[in-house]
Chain A
């Protein structure tokens, strides 16, 4: 069966520190992978999506970046976190148009 793993679940980082959030998918091949951010428990903002290894599309200019080193691995990074980077980060995947499957999320607090 297909599963998606996202970690860590919570993270508190100081301003200016680096960030690395990882997402891996099991049980499927060549998924489309997505990073979303949800601020204040409300709307979802698409940050990045990837249709294949090394292929990253950025939706919103920011100090975050994404990489897809393997087919089922998607990484969200930052070299220097800002206070405004705080939020709930969700990884998701899809193979067909039957909806996304989301990870359990990472709550990032930048202090």
Chain B
């Protein structure tokens, strides 16, 4: 079945850039997503990228997709303490199911 993997933990200093990485196995993935989950809350969609795109930028967020290597990354510029959360990578090859990664806990040190 489909598999999405992420490192479990990332620690950065406030003001630095954060890069969260994700690899996936489903070569038919059509849409890839990044979600943010703050403590005790549901998941919030941050951004998504269609599989025919290499990059997408939205304010402080930059998503890079290497479809050949099945690698997705999320870069957060000028990381703030409010960015501390768990970040989930997810993918879908169809419209019924989305496979989520295990989540990367981002800790921002003041």
Interface of A with B (CB < 8 Å)?
6, 32, 36, 41-44, 46, 49, 51, 57, 90, 92, 94, 96-105, 107
- From B39, B40, B42, B101, give the contact of A102 (CB < 8 A): B42
Q: How far does the Cβ of A31 sit from chain B's closest Cβ, in whole Å?
A: 11
CA distance A18 to B88 in the complex (A): 31
CA distance A44 to B30 in the complex (A): 20
Chain B, interface size: which category? 20 to 34
The 7 closest A-B pairs by CB, nearest first: A102-B42, A99-B45, A43-B102, A44-B100, A102-B43, A97-B31, A104-B42
Given contacts A43-B102, A43-B103, 14 further A-B contacts (CB under 8 A): A41-B86, A44-B43, A44-B103, A57-B96, A92-B43, A94-B95, A96-B95, A97-B31, A98-B48, A99-B31, A100-B43, A100-B98, A102-B43, A105-B40
Interface of B with A (CB < 8 Å)?
30-31, 33, 35, 39-45, 48, 86, 88, 90, 92, 95-103
**SS class of chain A's interface: helix, strand, loop or mixed?**
strand
- From A49, A101, A103, A104, give the contact of B45 (CB < 8 A): A101
User: Could you tell me if A105 and B42 are in contact, using CB atoms closer than 8 angstroms?
Assistant: yes
User: Could you tell me if B95 and A97 are in contact, using CB atoms closer than 8 angstroms?
Assistant: yes
User: Could you tell me if B30 and A97 are in contact, using CB atoms closer than 8 angstroms?
Assistant: yes
Given A32-B95, A41-B86, A104-B42, answer yes or no on A99-B33 (Cβ-Cβ < 8 Å): yes
CA distance A44 to B6 in the complex (A): 13
User: Could you tell me if B44 and A102 are in contact, using CB atoms closer than 8 angstroms?
Assistant: yes
Q: Which B residues are in CB contact (< 8 Å) with A101? A: 45
Among A57, A92, A100, residue most surrounded by chain B Cβ atoms (within 10 Å): A100
Q: Which A residues are in CB contact (< 8 Å) with B31? A: 97-99
Q: Which B residues are in CB contact (< 8 Å) with A94? A: 95, 98
CA distance A101 to B44 in the complex (A): 7
Among B30, B90, B98, B101, residue most surrounded by chain A Cβ atoms (within 10 Å): B98
CA distance A5 to B101 in the complex (A): 24
